[in-house]
């Protein structure tokens, strides 16, 4: 092992998640997997071929840089859609490569027309509509200008989609806000149709919307967190499992984060461990070090607070998390030696460290914790157990 830790990706779990999510959609709905923020920390380059093996070939990213990475490693028949940032300097490149992207300002629409003229190739665009989130999207009073620009430049624009994003589809407290957005979106789509613009894809649903508002499933869905095996929040998980009388969670985590024991030492009672005086042994102790610290994505918030799995047991982090190391208390673990596996996130024996228990934050922070995993941690595919032999 060259690096001090690695991320293991479980292709079978990914496949199970995608199969389950697709089973909730009409066959005609395009499944776009959201791989922004380095595929939610899982690693774009490593995960992409695994996703394609599961039969998904449409990817959504936020930025141009992410789109370039996807475009570099995706298969010939796969497609990228940029939901957010494209610098003006790169519009020509994006159009030339045939990537699709969101347009949500008049300036961008105008610049897109000019770039498409230069590229001699129509730009594939998705028009984002403001329906109540008040973040990005064309407001209703801008639409006459949008329609005019589209009509005047038909040969330069290939309008592929009309779309919007909900202001918290996982949060039941904002149900009224979401319902109003759905109604506004439908009304605005009708207005486009009245102006002769009726693109192939109308799309609005993210993971939360897919589970909580099936009416938001249209010609395409943009699913992120659920593909990776996480519910957008606990509320959505519990409500979905209850409503569908499921006893087993259909979503499986695909990521594990693992390292190895670097050293094991004995420490007498009454000694301070690691920097400063934040941890004092209260018994003769056995301590071990793990070569991950805040410089490698193991948050300093976990000082005297986090846990890891060693020898099939959950053991505490003691003292401050250092830049390159943490100290753990393995007094209770009978046989523990250098190079033993340490699980930071994932399973060992019958114990699990979830992403949320990895920190002391609540479950809704899965998004943040995942995307904070450093991109440089190497990824390996989990080896699937051989099928059981008959007879
Ligand atoms: C991130 C994002 C999604 C996916 O959201 P999940 O909750 O992870 O499914 C969908 N649409 C847009 C516009 C997004 O930014």
Per-residue pLDDT tens over the stretch 155-197: 999 999 999 999 999 999 999 999 999 999 999 999 999 999 9
Q: Where are the beta strands (DSSP E) in the chain?
A: 5-9, 30-34, 58-63, 79-85, 100-103, 123-128, 157-163, 201-205, 220-223, 255-260, 263-267, 285-290, 307-310, 313-318, 326-329, 341-348, 351-353, 379-381
CA of 107 to the centre of ligand 1 (A): 24
Expressed as residue numbers, the domain containing 268 is 255-353
Mean pLDDT of 68-92: 96
Residue in 42, 60, 164 to alter for ligand 1 test, most ligand atoms within 8 A of Cβ: 60
* In-domain check, residue 66: yes
Same domain for 180 and 308, yes or no, is no
* Binding pocket residue ranges, ligand 1, CB within 6 Å: 34, 36, 83, 165, 206-208, 222-226, 232
Q: Are residues 234 and 304 part of one domain?
A: no
Q: How confident is the model at residue 25 (pLDDT cuts 50, 70, 90)?
A: very high
Nearest CA to ligand 1 atom 10: 206
Instruction: Find the angle CA(352)-CA(355)-CA(357) to the nearest 5 degrees.
Output: 70
**Any idea what the CATH number is for the domain that residue 329 is in?**
2.40.37.10
- Ligand 1 atom nearest residue 165's Cα: 13
pLDDT value of position 357: 73
387 is a domain residue: no
- Confidence at residue 385, expressed as pLDDT on a 0 to 100 scale: 74
Query: What is the count of structural domains for the chain?
Result: 2
Residues 267 and 289 in one domain: yes
- Phi and psi of 75, rounded to 5°? -80, 165
User: What is the three-class DSSP state of 305?
Assistant: coil
166 lies in some domain: yes
259 and 228, same domain (yes or no): no
pLDDT at 334: 94
Q: How far is the CA of 207 from the centre of ligand 1 (A)?
A: 7
**Distance from CA of residue 258 to its chain's centroid?**
19
Residue ending a domain, choose from 217, 243, 269: 243
If asked whether residues 157 and 181 sit together in one domain, one would say yes
Q: Whose CA is nearest to atom 13 of ligand 1?
A: 165
pLDDT of amino acid 270:
98
Rounded to whole angstroms, the maximal C-alpha distance in the chain is: 81
Checking if the pLDDT of 7 tops 60, the result is: yes
- Per-residue confidence at 2, pLDDT binned at 50, 70, 90? confident
CATH number for the domain spanning 72: value is 3.20.20.10
Ranking 19-23, 88-92, 320-324, 370-374 by mean pLDDT, the lowest is 370-374
* Residue 147, in any domain of the structure: yes
Residues 130 and 234 in one domain: yes
Residue 377 lies in a domain: no
In terms of Cβ atoms closer than 10 Å to its own Cβ (0-12, 13-18, 19+), residue 23 is exposed
Q: Are residues 32 and 142 in the same domain?
A: yes
- Asked if residue 202 is part of any domain, the answer here is yes
DSSP assignment letter at 107: H
Closest CA to 365 of 256, 232, 258, 167: 232
- Distance between CA 332 and CA 303 in Å, rounded? 20
What pLDDT sits at residue 384?
79
Q: What pLDDT is recorded for position 361?
A: 55
Contact criterion met (CB below 8 Å) for 255 and 67: no
* One domain for residues 71 and 154: yes
Q: How far is the CA of 201 from the centre of ligand 1 (A)?
A: 16
**220 and 328 inside one domain:** no
Average pLDDT, the chain: 95
Residues 59 and 139 in one domain: yes
The per-residue pLDDT for range 332-361, each reduced to its tens digit, is 999 999 999 999 999 999 999 988 777 655
Percent of the chain with pLDDT over 90: 91
Q: Which of 222, 232, 366 gets mutated to test ligand 1 (max ligand atoms within 8 A of its CB)?
A: 222
> Is the entire prediction scored with pTM above 0.75?
yes
pLDDT at 1: 78
| The two three-digit tokens of residue 203, written as one number | 């799309």
pLDDT value at residue 172: 94
Distance 233 CA to ligand 1 centre (A): 14
| Residue 368 within a domain | no
Same domain? For 38 and 159 the reply is yes
Using alpha carbons only, give the angle 276, 280, 284 rounded to the nearest 5 degrees.
135
Among residues 196, 212, 243, the one where a domain terminates is 243
> What pLDDT score does 369 carry?
86
The answer to the question of residue 193 being in a domain is yes
């Amino acid at each position: 092992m060259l690096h001090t830790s690695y991320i293991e990706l479980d292709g079978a779990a990914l496949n199970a998640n995608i199969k389950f999510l697709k089973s909730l959609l009409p066959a005609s709905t395009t499944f776009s997997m959201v791989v922004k923020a380095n595929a939610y920390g899982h690693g774009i380059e490593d995960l992409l071929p695994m996703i394609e093996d599961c039969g998904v070939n449409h990817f959504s990213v936020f930025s141009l840089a992410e789109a370039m990475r996807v475009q570099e490693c995706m298969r010939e028949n796969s497609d990228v859609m940029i939901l957010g940032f494209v610098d003006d300097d790169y519009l020509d490149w994006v159009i030339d490569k045939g990537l699709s992207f969101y347009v949500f300002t008049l300036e961008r629409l105008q610049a897109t027309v000019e770039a498409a003229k230069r590229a001699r190739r129509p730009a594939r665009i998705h028009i984002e509509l403001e329906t109540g989130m008040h973040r990005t999207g064309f407001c209703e009073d801008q639409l006459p200008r949008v329609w005019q620009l589209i009509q005047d430049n038909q040969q330069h624009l290939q309008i592929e989609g009309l779309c919007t994003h909900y202001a918290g589809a996982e949060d039941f407290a904002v149900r009224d806000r979401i319902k109003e957005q759905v109604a506004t979106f439908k009304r605005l789509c009708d207005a486009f149709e009245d102006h002769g613009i009726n693109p192939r894809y109308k799309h609005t649903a993210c993971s939360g919307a897919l589970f909580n508002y099936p009416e938001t499933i249209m010609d395409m869905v943009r699913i992120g967190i659920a593909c990776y095996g996480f519910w957008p929040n606990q509320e959505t998980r519990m409500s979905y499992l209850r409503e569908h009388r499921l006893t087993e969670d259909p979503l499986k985590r695909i990521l594990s984060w693992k390292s190895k024991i670097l050293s094991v030492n004995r420490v007498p009672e009454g000694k301070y461990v690691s920097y400063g005086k934040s941890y004092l042994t209260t018994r003769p102790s056995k301590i071990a070090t793990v070569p991950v610290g805040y410089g490698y994505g193991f948050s300093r918030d976990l000082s005297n607070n986090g846990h890891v799995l060693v020898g099939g047991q959950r053991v505490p982090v003691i003292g401050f998390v250092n830049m390159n190391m943490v100290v753990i208390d393995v007094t209770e673990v009978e046989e523990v030696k250098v190079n033993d596996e340490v699980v930071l996130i994932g399973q060992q024996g019958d114990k699990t460290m979830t992403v949320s228990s990895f920190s002391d934050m609540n479950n809704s922070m899965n998004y943040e914790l995942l995307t904070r995993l450093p991109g440089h941690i190497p990824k390996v595919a989990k080896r699937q157990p051989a099928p059981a032999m008959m007879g």
